[in-house]
């Protein structure tokens, strides 16, 4: 088992690899973490995700711009790919599966991919439909996978209207499904009008929301562990 | 800093290294990274060449990062299909633009970067950075002159014969649809999509072995 000191050092290394958008170091640190016996969950949340939270802050403070943000996300994935197979599934009390995609007519998927990443990190099963997804496909996929969260993304006002149709269809077929929408033209007003449950304005806010989501997941995780300890 | 970086990259196998100042030429997302290190390797295009280019790129990235600068490595054009997040941004940037701005050469009638020493036989990679690297002198005009070898030998008559100059960047040099359809036909007949005649025929930097090669094999080489 790793000493506290070594563990701290490796978590720091993972965190910095993400902040410094260094894929190679992220991979190296992930492998080291596994070989020294650090819990993969720990490495992901307190290493990689902690780094991404800082990146989110830097992005908001305009210290980092889109290219850095994307490279940080790549570094996170590089580490995540190595750590993920070793994650012991925790019962988080939430059913983690989500259908995500950019709606028909729209090929802008950077924001969608970043949100997807955060779901991946959180251990959700992600059904990524990609971009320019026919509207019916969302409903079909939701029914097929019985996911309880559907995320829709659109970058243009012309394609945004497609989200309304998807939401209506989903509601008729399955009133319990939670729907989150996002993209540049979307606002809280639009989300309310369309009847979505959640809204994220753009990649920055999606990231922030996704981080909040992960923070609450983390909290749940801690609670579950606390219960176990009792 | 500049001399040091150039020396390091040259010692690791780069044939040419240039520095470009691209202020005002970059699109929004990457506008803050307005200096480019342009790295050229003159080798047949194969896995090794890509390896070397990527290695050189990483070295440049490490060099600049360790000095506290931001970097964005734009990989060689033939090494892009990786599906990473940042690969979405690669299309905002053009290696040849950086290379001409860094004084490595001009754009020939065949639409490729022509270096005075290596002709169109360079594979390019670039590293964008915000480090204030003193730019090299850009090349402003084509030095192809009256040579029309690539135009004459092009099997798809794609080369228009127009000359490039920095002041008129939108002149059509190569009819890409003609070139592309020729490559598609070629792929269908002998399985090798690349034609490369306009590379091999170019008199700049040509060695005898190359010119024989034209007839024998029509070597596969990327358009950089």
Task: Decide if B29 and A66 are in contact by the 8 Å CB cutoff.
Answer: yes
Task: Decide if B85 and A66 are in contact by the 8 Å CB cutoff.
Answer: no
Residue A222 within a domain: no
Distance from CA of B86 to the nearest CA of A (A): 5
Confidence class for position B222, pLDDT limits 50, 70, 90? very low
Q: Looking at A32, A54, A88, which one is the last position of a domain?
A: A88
- Cβ contacts of B86 on chain A, cutoff 8 Å: 67, 70-71, 73-74
Distance of alpha carbon A193 from alpha carbon A187, whole angstroms: 10
**pLDDT averaged over every residue in chain B:** 84
Residue A199 within a domain: yes
Distance of alpha carbon A138 from alpha carbon A168, whole angstroms: 12
Residue A216 within a domain: no
Residue A212 within a domain: no
Specify the pLDDT at position B223.
40
- For residues A116 and A192, state if they share a domain: yes
Distance of alpha carbon A153 from alpha carbon A150, whole angstroms: 10
Give every CB contact of residue B9 below 8 A, 6+ residues apart in sequence: B17, B37, B39, B56, B59, B60
Domain extent, residue A48, equals 4-88
Model ipTM value? 0.76
- For residues A24 and A105, state if they share a domain: no
Count other C-beta atoms under 10 Å from residue A7's C-beta.
Answer: 20
The mean per-residue pLDDT over the stretch B18-37 comes to 86
DSSP 8-state class, residue A48: I
- For residues A103 and A191, state if they share a domain: yes
Specify the pLDDT at position A93.
47
Task: Decide if B88 and A110 are in contact by the 8 Å CB cutoff.
Answer: yes
- For residues A65 and A114, state if they share a domain: no
Distance of alpha carbon A128 from alpha carbon A151, whole angstroms: 10
Q: Looking at A32, A57, A88, which one is the last position of a domain?
A: A88
Bridge partners (DSSP) listed for residue A101:
A152
Give every CB contact of residue B50 below 8 A, 6+ residues apart in sequence: B76, B78, B79, B123
Q: Looking at A48, A64, A88, which one is the last position of a domain?
A: A88
- For residues A103 and A178, state if they share a domain: yes
Name which of B50, B57, B95, B52 is nearest B73 in CA terms.
B57
The tens-digit pLDDT sequence of chain A (230 residues) is 568 888 899 999 999 999 999 999 999 999 999 999 888 888 888 888 889 888 878 887 888 888 898 899 889 989 988 988 887 665 454 556 889 999 998 888 777 887 887 777 766 788 999 989 999 999 999 889 888 788 999 888 889 989 999 999 998 988 778 788 888 788 889 989 998 887 876 555 665 565 565 556 556 667 777 887 77
Overall number of domains in chain A: 2
- For residues A73 and A29, state if they share a domain: yes
Give every CB contact of residue A25 below 8 A, 6+ residues apart in sequence: A13, A16, A17, A75
Residue A141 within a domain: yes
Lowest mean pLDDT among A23-37, B131-145, B199-213: B199-213
Confidence class for position B215, pLDDT limits 50, 70, 90? very low
Residue A230 within a domain: no
Distance of alpha carbon B140 from alpha carbon A34, whole angstroms: 54
Residue A221 within a domain: no
- For residues A201 and A106, state if they share a domain: yes
Q: What is the CATH number of the domain that holds A125?
A: 3.40.50.280
For chain A, what percent of residues have pLDDT higher than 90?
27
Judge whether residue B169 has pLDDT over 70: yes
- For residues A14 and A60, state if they share a domain: yes
Residue A150 within a domain: yes
- For residues A19 and A113, state if they share a domain: no
Specify the pLDDT at position A133.
93
Q: B85 — contact with chain A (CB < 8 Å)?
A: yes
Task: Decide if A67 and B86 are in contact by the 8 Å CB cutoff.
Answer: yes
Confidence class for position B100, pLDDT limits 50, 70, 90? very high
Name which of B39, B107, B113 is nearest B76 in CA terms.
B39
Specify the pLDDT at position A138.
92
Give every CB contact of residue A144 below 8 A, 6+ residues apart in sequence: none
Task: Decide if B85 and A67 are in contact by the 8 Å CB cutoff.
Answer: no
Task: Decide if B89 and A70 are in contact by the 8 Å CB cutoff.
Answer: yes
Q: B29 — contact with chain A (CB < 8 Å)?
A: yes
Closest residue in B to A115 (Cα) is B85
- For residues A64 and A84, state if they share a domain: yes
Distance of alpha carbon B151 from alpha carbon B154, whole angstroms: 5
B7 or A146, higher pLDDT: B7
Q: What is the CATH number of the domain that holds A76?
A: 1.10.1240.10
User: Which tens digit of pLDDT belongs to each residue from A158-201?
Assistant: 899 899 999 999 989 887 787 888 887 888 899 899 988 878 76
Closest residue in A to B92 (Cα) is A67
Q: B58 — contact with chain A (CB < 8 Å)?
A: yes
Distance of alpha carbon A221 from alpha carbon A228, whole angstroms: 11
- For residues A34 and A129, state if they share a domain: no
CA-angle at B45, arms to B41 and B49, nearest 5°: 50
User: Which tens digit of pLDDT belongs to each residue from A47-60?
Assistant: 888 898 888 788 87
- For residues A152 and A63, state if they share a domain: no
- Cβ contacts of A24 on chain B, cutoff 8 Å: 58
Count other C-beta atoms under 10 Å from residue B94's C-beta.
Answer: 15
Distance of alpha carbon B26 from alpha carbon A141, whole angstroms: 40
């Amino acid at each position: 088992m790793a000493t506290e000191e070594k563990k701290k050092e490796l978590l720091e290394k993972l965190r910095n690899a993400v902040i410094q958008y260094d894929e190679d170091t992220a991979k190296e640190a992930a492998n080291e973490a596994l070989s020294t016996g650090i819990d993969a969950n720990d490495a992901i949340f307190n290493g990689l995700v902690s780094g991404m939270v800082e990146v989110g802050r830097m992005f908001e403070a305009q210290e980092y711009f889109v290219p850095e943000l994307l490279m940080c996300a790549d570094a996170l994935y590089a580490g995540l790919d190595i750590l993920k197979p070793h994650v012991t599934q925790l019962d988080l009390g939430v059913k983690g599966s989500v259908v995500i995609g950019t709606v028909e007519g729209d090929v802008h998927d950077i924001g969608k991919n970043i949100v997807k990443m955060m779901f991946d990190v959180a251990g959700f099963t992600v059904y990524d439909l990609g971009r320019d997804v026919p509207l019916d496909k969302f409903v079909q996929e939701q029914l097929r996978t019985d996911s309880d969260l559907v995320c829709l993304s659109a970058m243009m006002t012309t394609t945004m209207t497609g989200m309304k149709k998807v939401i209506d269809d989903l509601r008729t077929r399955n009133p319990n499904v939670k729907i989150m929408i996002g993209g540049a033209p979307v606002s809280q007003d639009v989300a309310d009008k369309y009847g979505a449950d959640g809204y994220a304005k753009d990649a920055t806010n999606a990231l922030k929301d996704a981080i909040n989501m992960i923070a609450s997941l983390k909290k749940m995780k801690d609670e579950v562990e606390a219960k176990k300890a009792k | 800093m500049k001399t040091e970086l150039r020396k390091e990259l040259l010692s690791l196998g780069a044939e040419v290294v240039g520095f470009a100042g691209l202020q005002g030429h970059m699109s929004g997302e990457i506008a803050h990274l307005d200096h480019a290190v342009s790295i050229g390797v003159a080798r047949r295009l194969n896995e090794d060449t890509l390896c070397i280019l990527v290695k050189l790129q990483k070295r440049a990235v490490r060099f600049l990062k360790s000095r506290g600068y931001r970097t964005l490595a734009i990989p060689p054009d033939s090494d892009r299909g990786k599906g990473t997040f940042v690969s979405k941004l690669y299309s905002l940037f053009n290696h040849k633009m950086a290379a001409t701005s860094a004084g490595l050469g001009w754009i020939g009638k065949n639409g490729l970067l022509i270096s005075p020493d290596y002709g169109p036989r360079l594979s390019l990679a670039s590293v964008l950075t915000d480090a204030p690297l003193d730019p090299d002198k850009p090349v402003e005009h084509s030095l192809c002159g009256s040579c029309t070898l690539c135009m004459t030998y092009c099997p798809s008559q794609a080369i228009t014969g127009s000359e490039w100059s920095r002041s008129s960047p939108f002149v059509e040099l190569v009819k890409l649809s003609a070139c592309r359809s020729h490559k598609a036909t070629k792929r269908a007949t002998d399985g090798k999509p690349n034609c490369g005649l306009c590379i091999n025929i170019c008199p700049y930097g040509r060695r005898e072995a190359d010119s024989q090669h034209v007839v024998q094999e029509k070597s596969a080489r990327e358009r950089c």
